[in-house]
A and B are shown apart, each in its own frame.
Chain A
Amino acid sequence: MKIIEVKNLTKKFKDLIAVDNISFEVEKGEIFAFLGPNGAGKSTTIKMLTTLLQPTSGSIVLNNYDPLRNPDEVRHSFGIVFQDPSLDDELTAYENMDFHGILYDVPKKVRKDRIEHLLKLVELWDRRKSLVKEFSGGMKRRLEIARGLLHHPKVIFLDEPTLGLDPQTRNSTWNYLLELNKEEGTTIFFTTHYMEEAERVAQRVAIIDHGRIIATGTSEELKASSHSNSLEEAFLALTGKGIREEEGTNLDRMRQRRKLFRH
């Protein structure tokens, strides 16, 4: 059974085609890696799948719902861990979880139990009363993952979930996600720049470049078709070795400024 079906999806910004007529499918319960160089269109695609951006053309079906016509049903169906943190720094870990639970209409009793369970799983239960601004990058990531799972989504989107994590944290994060995938059948859709990570955990891989999907299949299939020994080699063979330039965003400048503002 398909949980995500994307057909001829396109997103144009003023003078840029970020996503150019892509189609792919993800099976229910699958672990799917969405790979590509910087600026290839990964995050834009995820934003369209998660109702944050409206496609220019093409169709999306997620858990049998269309994000344009039934956004709320779609929103109930997925959890997401964004590339950038999306926690409220001024709230505690527990309050961030509780806030999420209320927005997703998880009943009070269930909410309490699940928050305890999830925070224990990501080993943050002892720090539940600490403000998130005191957390390290890894702790924030773990909290975001726990939060993304609070409403028992059918699909979890992870946009570079292990970026900036040390090997220990990366390892335990994946162990937890794989366990969840096995036990709850949660579909995992993730992007990463660590090719060995994708090779190890993903059952199927899609590679996107310049807004187009240039290959899909298992790691083995991609390696075989490009005569490579590893997924990294296959990736470089498919996307080339040129380094992609991305413009500095306002966000980078804001981060600098926020450091000055901190009291």
Chain B
Amino acid sequence: MKTIYILWLRQLKRYFRSKSRIIGSLAQPLLFLVSLGYGFGPVFQKAGQGNYIDFLAPGIIGMSIIFSSIFSGMEIIWDRQFGFLKETLVAPVSRLSIMIGRTLGGTTVALMQGVIVFLIAMVAGFHPYNFALLPLAILVMLLVAFLFTALGTMIASLLSDMQGFQLIMNFLIMPLFFLSGALFPLQGLPKAITTIASLDPLSYGVDAFRTLLTGVTHFGLGLDILVLSGVTLLFLVLGSYFFSKIQI
């Protein structure tokens, strides 16, 4: 228990101390929100889909969470390269508690990023339709953050250096984001895209945010939460397994 706490605390301390990382990771969602939000706003409106900022904001929250949490999970690679991982692995504590502590730390960091982006979106003109559902939306953000941090941990346990990072970025994180329906509605698309989107866990995360924040749903909140919980559990089990197999 103490192990989990101290590893969680470490992630948070590192986060608050790297101001450049906080600012850097907020710049990208902000750019997407402003350029796409205002840029496509009139077209979206004319197509009869309503306010694009309202549609886009939950997607951008999803984006900031997926990026932040996968990166946090993958910090293991840095720790491995710069030695700190050895310090935790020779300590008399279980690998599982190390993995859980780190994952919870990354989750908390990603959740904070998500909440900050939510606030920025409000400044940019986003209006949640029902503030009473906000706590529930934050809970779902927590779940999504947990899911992708566990995925990051899993990937990081399999990679021994940063060489594969670009590959993961371009072939995993980017597709997960762009094909999740974060930027466009999933209705009326070619079958192939809808199928891929329905296999992407982030689609369910974004859909859940959209349901809770704007009242529009694609899959339905029940299915969203069911899928997110199931996939989180799967990634946690796989992540712990691969983490326990790390040899230095």
Report A's interface with B, CB cutoff 8 A. Answer: 47, 50-54, 71-73, 75-76, 78, 80, 82, 84-91, 95, 99-100, 102-105, 131, 250-251, 253-254, 257-258, 263
- The majority secondary structure among interface residues of chain A is mixed
B93 interfacial contact with A, CB 8 Å:
yes
Contact with B18, one of A72, A73, A90 (Cβ below 8 angstroms): A90
Interface residues of B in 185-222 (CB under 8 A from A): none
Are the CB atoms of A52 and B6 closer together than 8 Å? no
The answer to whether A86 touches B86, judged by C-beta atoms less than 8 angstroms apart, is: yes
Report which residue of B2, B91, B247 has the largest number of chain A beta carbons within 10 angstroms of its beta carbon: B91
Q: Are A90 and B14 in touch, CB under 8 angstroms?
A: yes
Pairwise interchain contact A87-B13, C-beta atoms closer than 8 A: no
Secondary structure at chain B's binding surface: helix, strand, loop or mixed?
helix
Cβ contact of B89, chosen from A52, A85, A100, A251, cutoff 8 A: A52
Task: Offer 30 A-B interface pairs, CB within 8 angstroms, sorted by A.
Answer: A47-B248, A50-B90, A52-B90, A72-B93, A75-B90, A82-B83, A84-B82, A85-B83, A86-B84, A86-B86, A86-B87, A87-B83, A89-B82, A90-B13, A95-B13, A99-B6, A99-B10, A100-B87, A103-B6, A103-B91, A103-B92, A104-B92, A131-B17, A250-B81, A250-B163, A251-B81, A253-B161, A254-B81, A254-B162, A258-B82
Q: Is the CB of B83 within 8 A of A86?
A: yes
Q: CA separation between A47 and B86, bound complex, in Å?
A: 10
Give the distance in Å from the alpha carbon of A88 to the alpha carbon of B88 in the complex: 11
Residues on B with C-beta less than 8 A from A131 are: 17
> What residues of B have a CB within 8 angstroms of the CB of A54 in the complex?
247
CB distance from A3 to the nearest CB of B (A): 17
The digit string for B1-25, where 1 denotes a CB below 8 A from any CB of A, is 0110010001001100110100000
Contact check, B162 vs A102: say whether CB atoms are below 8 A apart.
no
Alpha-carbon distance A254/B161, docked complex (angstroms): 8
Which residues of chain A are near B86, meaning CB under 8 Å? 52, 82, 86
Q: What CA separation (Å) do A37 and B160 show in the bound complex?
A: 25
Which of A53, A85, A99 contacts B82 (CB under 8 A)?
A85
Q: How far is the CA of A88 from the CA of B89 in the complex (A)?
A: 14
Q: Tell me, in angstroms, the Cα distance from A95 to B9 when the chains sit together.
A: 11
From the candidates A50, A72, A102, name the one contacting B2 in the complex (CB within 8 A). Answer: A102
Expressed in whole angstroms, the minimum distance between the Cβ of B39 and any Cβ of chain A is: 31
Known contacts A52-B247, A254-B162: A104-B90 contact under CB 8 Å: no
Residues of A within 8 A of B3 (CB): 102-103
Nearest-neighbour CB distance to chain B for A137, whole angstroms, equals 13
A-chain residues with CB within 8 Å of residue B89 when the two chains form the complex: 52
Cα–Cα distance between A51 and B91 once the two chains are bound (Å): 10
Please judge, given known A-B contacts A90-B13, A254-B162, whether A103 and B84 are in contact too, CB under 8 Å: no
CB neighbours of B90 from chain A (8 A): 50-52, 75, 78, 80
Whole-angstrom distance between the alpha carbons of A135 and B97 in the complex? 30
Contact of B10 with A91 in the complex, beta carbons under 8 Å: yes
Whether A90 lies near B162 (C-beta < 8 A) is no
CB contacts (< 8 Å) of B13 on chain A: these are 90-91, 95
What's the Cα separation between A75 and B86 when bound, in Å?
12
Interfacial chain B residues near A50, Cβ < 8 Å: 90
- Asked whether, in the complex, the Cβ of B91 is within 8 Å of the Cβ of A104, the reply is yes
Residue from the list B10, B91, B161 in contact with A88, Cβ < 8 A = B10
Chain B 158-171 per-residue mask, 1 if CB under 8 angstroms from chain A, else 0: 00111100000000
In Å, the complex CA distance between A47 and B87 comes to 12
Q: Are B88 and A103 in contact (CB under 8 A)?
A: yes
Q: In residues 66-104 of chain B, which contact A (Cβ within 8 Å)?
A: 81-84, 86-93
* Complex Cα spacing A78 to B81, Å: 23
Chain B residues with CB below 8 A from A52, complex form = 86, 89-90, 247-248
A104 to B6, alpha carbons, bound, how many Å? 12
- The chain B residue sitting closest to A71, CB to CB, is B92
Residue of B10, B84, B89 most packed against chain A (CB within 10 A): B84
Of all chain B residues, the one with the shortest Cβ separation from A75 is B92
**Do B20 and A76 have beta carbons less than 8 Å apart?**
no
